[in-house]
Chains A and B, each alone.
Chain A
Amino acid sequence: MSTPTLLALLAAVGALTYLYRYLMIGVFASHRLPPWLHALCRHIAPASFAALTASALFVAGGEVTIALDGPRPWAALVAAAVAWRSRSVFATIGAGMATLYLLKILFR
């Protein structure tokens, strides 16, 4: 992506994010949030992170490639197990990176 396009993208996301933050304390200060939006918001984060994780691990160049001979899916699996047990973001990143390095050394 060219730098001007990227800047326009960042400005647009920044403006939108700012609008979200100002919306209820500035624009609609005397209104309440509709319940359906409240309910839907709970699902946004899990849906986003799941889609991004699946895409980062198993999609390359617009094609589904479940390349189980590479180290990344296995490192991600170990990271997921550690995340489930530890509930710690740093333990998860540490375990995933350590597994990645270990597999790269073992199967170089």
Chain B
Amino acid sequence: MSRSTEFLAGCRDEAPLLLGVAPFGMIYAIAALAAGVPAWVAQLASALVFAGAAQLVIVQMLAAGAGALPIALTAGLLNVRHVLYSASMAEYVRHLSRRWRLLLAYLLTDEAYAVAVLRYQRRDGAPTGAQADPARSDRAESDSIAREAAPDLRHWYFLGAGFTLWAGWQASTAAGLLFAATIPPSWELDFAVPLTFIALLTLLLRERAGQAAALAAAIGALAFAALPYKLGLVAAILVGLLAGAWTVRRLEGAR
């Protein structure tokens, strides 16, 4: 496989995910305008933050009159999961130049991670990363000859997938901004944001610990509602984390 075939394969495999991403981009843009965010700032945010759930959270909190610090804390907490993606990708991209890693880090979103990690975990033919898991190192010597003949170009696949998602996210934000001008406020499309949270929440509630975290956080959001600048949301999320951790420990103790 050449660089361009890897790149194009990444684009092709990422493309179906745009069907799911594009409506989020449009909802984000519409809700941003409804919250009073200037259109150019809303578009810029899609490039700066480039994380759908966090952008929806920011817009939701702006609409509720939250202060900058609570918004930053909430979005910062929500995005911690990217550290997990980064850790999961580390073994595959460790051998790349700093410039490549700086670029791929920017493109490491939920959806690009999901597609790229599958490419790296697929075992058909392509050589594994330069410092793949140590259990395979006994075969490294015989492999090294093959590796020189066929260098690992899967970062081009990652680039293709990440770039496709990036372009789709920017385009759907722009489309939402253009579309929003034609929608009367009485359609209340900003309500799609809490509905999105409900849908994502329901998908996450399969385990006991997640249920405890969600319940505690929801109660906390009401209990701490009077805190200024919506700091209550940050407190509520922290209470939820504690409840989740406590439930895991209690379930493990019961076993």
Contact = CB atoms under 8 A, between A and B. Distances in A.
Interface of A: 1, 3, 5-14, 16-18, 20-26, 29-30, 32-33, 37-59, 61-64, 72, 75-76, 79-80, 83-84, 87-90, 92-93, 96-97, 100
A86 B21 CA distance: 19
Interface stretch (B10-18, B98-106, B169-177): B98-106
Given A23-B86, A44-B237, A50-B213, A92 B195 contact: yes
A104 B108 CA distance: 41
A53 B81 CA distance: 20
Contacts of A49: 197-198, 200-201, 204, 214
A46 B81 CA distance: 12
B90 A1 contact: no
Given A12-B72, A25-B90, A29-B90, A56 B199 contact: no
A12 B35 CA distance: 20
Give the size category of B's interface with A.
Answer: 35 or more
Given A42-B244, A84-B202, A20 B213 contact: no
A26 B83 CA distance: 11
Contacts, number: 275
Interface of B: 20, 23, 27, 37-38, 41, 44-45, 48-51, 53-54, 57-58, 60-62, 64-65, 68, 71-72, 74-87, 89-90, 93-94, 98, 101-102, 104-106, 108, 188-189, 191-205, 209-211, 213-222, 225-228, 230, 232-233, 236-237, 239-241, 243-245, 248
Contacts of A58: 221-222
Nearest to A66: B222
A28 to B, nearest CB: 8
